[in-house]
Homo-oligomer: A and B are copies of this chain.
Amino acid sequence: MVKLTGVSGERIQTAAQCMAAEAAGSDNIRVFGMVHGIQDMGKFTFLTLRVRDGLIQCVVGNENDILPDVKKESAVEITGERVSEARAKHGFEIHIREIRILSVPKEDMPVNINKRGLNVGTETDLTYRPATLRGAAKRAAFRLQAGLAAGFRDFLGHNGFTEIFSPKIVAHGAEGGANIFKLDYFGKKAFLAQSPQFYKQTMVPVYGRVFEIGPVFRAEKHDTARHLNEYVSVDFEMGFIDSFYDVMNMETAMLRHTFAFLREQYADVLEELRLELPSVKEIPTVRFAQAKQMVAERYGRKIKDPYDLEPEEERLIGELFLETENSDFVFVTHYPSKKRPFYAMDDPEDPKFTLSFDLLYKGMEITTGGQRIHDYDAQTTKMLAKGLDPGDFESYLMLHKYGCPPHGGLGLGLERLCMKLLDKSNIRETSLFPRDTQRLTP
């Protein structure tokens, strides 16, 4: 009987393992990877091997005649000598002795992924994502995304937040409005969760602080460069806050920690992306109404919608605070009650506004958050005022009915943060397989 012990014969699949192998005295190594590029130099050929942590330069003299069958994007096992080479990326190259072909692609790649920066339009990129993702810049961009998620979890775990897994098929939308996907659920009407809002609030009396990083769904009908119909939301909710500034302070600390985490643990990715992460020392705040006024005055704009910020206004607020406060980040606070969901707590000093905020980064909203209503009567009263029937929200209202502490939280769009960190102009650049009104594949 085969019994599994958890130990497989280790196969070298990274540049780091190659380097460790040399340190251990082995100069005859076997490496597994994908053929990323082949360049015939006349007397010899460079073969670039794509491994988990990057690209390895391999060389073989053409007299050896061992390369003719090797195609780009073949999976191969290379046996050879690891030789120091200062000009190569990792300080070594492999002199190939033997290549074993493990798989051969059916067709050539539809795009050239060897150039720095993919030289194709967005449509082509999106259509061929399974192929274009193999390029170095895209690999690094989505490693950055993974690193951000890991950094957020690291921070939240160390600050007493418990991870939760809340359902995505739900009976009611949390954010209101028509931008919600419907589905038939065994004959009942159901929806895809626009956010884990109800559930993370429900968990506050249970754990005090909770978080979830997962998909959310918005049936936005307009295609823009900053909207996705499905995205990854980083959500947290925290109890026993003194004010909604506690939530903003927590986000400030989370961003600072996460960028430090990336500098330490994802240095190779930042180098590949030539990315200098922002230092988050302090983040200025401005009230919604004041921000609107400032931008109108400074840039000679008319205020069209007094209840919400237009994308162009967000951009100008970002510009203004970069200029005056030298900050790429700015918290816009006290959004009008009219445009915030029913669970937002009104400002007792002026109930036309809420104790809520958006975080703008480089002129774009990346987070929405605020203090929530914790009192049952206050919550049902606000629901009625907004034309909602509390009877529809019975299970959510158990939170308030059976008691909960003052609390607040936020949701951060992971793709938007990546997009602005990388100065991309289209959010589809930072979603692996984006969903927009036109795209269900790949």
Contact = CB atoms under 8 A, between A and B. Distances in A.
A75 B11 contact: no
A188 B439 CA distance: 10
A26 interface: no
A122 B239 CA distance: 28
A74 B219 CA distance: 38
Contact of A6 (B160, B280, B396): B280
A7 interface: yes
A232 interface: yes
Interface string A351-394: 00000000000000000000000111100000000000000001
Contacts of A166: 432-433
Interface in A251-297: 252-253, 256, 280-286
Nearest to A143: B162
B221 A432 contact: no
Contacts of A13: 160, 208, 239-240
A121 interface: no
Interface residues of A, number: 127
Interface of A: 1-9, 11, 13-14, 32-34, 51-53, 71-75, 102-107, 109-110, 128, 130-131, 133-134, 138-139, 142-143, 145-146, 149-150, 153, 157, 160, 162-171, 181-186, 188, 190, 192, 199, 202-203, 205-209, 214-215, 217, 219, 221, 229-230, 232, 239-240, 242, 245-246, 248-250, 252-253, 256, 280-286, 331, 374-377, 394-396, 398-406, 414, 432-435, 437-438, 440-442
Given A5-B249, A134-B205, A214-B214, 7 more contacts: A2-B245, A3-B285, A6-B253, A11-B242, A13-B160, A71-B403, A165-B215
